[in-house]
Structure 1
């Protein structure tokens, strides 16, 4: 009987210890101070909610995500050939557009993207147009100059890393593809295909992304 009692006491103590361990570590949702850990993009929900009813008209193809998520880690080059990452540009709302000189719809929407940058670009917003040509690398910049695209900063990915990363992230198989990213680096929307980015519909969408008073 004493042996059975000892076994029972030991078993009860083990169960209690396991329960305490699960309470502390089982869910992985609390920190050392007992506070619930927020999802990295939980604070982007209000922005996402503002955008959903504005994906219409000229920007009806904008897919506002069901839940914001961290934008993919992208690295590319600026006009001087210096390495730039998407994280380096954090702090502003970004419209990240992938384009190529061999893509007719891409070239058709570039003037509108340039006008959008002229209208809303600044400390709070930027169009980040990344060229994904991997051959004839002087052609994209020359094409922009020939067509009067002067407000957009020039970014390029001659190494061919950005396009497959975006394809994996969005499931898009063509160009142009455009991501809408908030100042925290959270992806809140995806456009697969071209849009009239200088339209009133597009401006209202971007202003909503910037904030309720924009």
Structure 2
């Protein structure tokens, strides 16, 4: 083999190794979140934007902030008793929290009903929602800070307090597609 042929073979081998390395690195890049069923409405955040630092009122009447959930992934659902799509998805949110709720994940309901707990608590009880409590944002300050376009709107907040994405409208939150999406974010956080 001539010297020129030997150099050409080395260049080809080097190019092949470089291509293999790049392909391997591309395969290691973070995959897109799984979005099927109702989860096609989920819009991942394009940037790491922190969740707003606006207080809302716990079911016990105490002011709290989303910062108090740091360290866990939180599904924050804004709803109201007068919103039919909100009411439709409440049972699935309760089932999701019953199945996946843990020290690492929690569903947080935030009602924007003006009467706060005196309005939403009897309503949830009448619906049979017994294992998922709500909080109140009676003046919709937190809802506006999130720039939510309407109700229901649900945000997925990572353990670091950044918004991972949102879904506008109702969804079957206890579906396999929703659980897969949430597992994607809880395992990659």
Q: TM-score, normalised by structure 2?
A: 0.79
Matched, 1:86 2:66: yes
2:41 maps to: 61
Deviation sequence 1:105-149 (CA, Å, 0-9, x none): 001000000000000001000001100111375121111111111
- Determine the structure 2 residue equivalent to 1:181: 157
Contact in 1 for aligned 2:33/2:181 (Cα 8 Å): no
Write the distance in 2 (CA, Å) between the matches of 1:193 and 1:138: 25
Please name the residue that 1:197 is paired with: 173
Two-structure CA RMSD over aligned residues (Å): 1.9
Asked if 2 retains the 8 angstrom alpha-carbon contact of 1:98 and 1:176, the reply is yes
Pick the structure with greater CA Rg. Answer: 1
Count of matched residue positions in the alignment of Structure 1 and Structure 2? 161
Q: Corresponding residue for 1:105?
A: 85
Q: CA deviation at 1:183?
A: 0.3
TM-score by length of 1: 0.70
Equivalent in 144, 153, 160 of residue 164 of structure 1: 144
Q: Which runs of 4+ in 1 moved over 6 A?
A: none
1:115 paired to 2:95: yes
CA separation in 2, counterparts of 1:210 and 1:136?
30
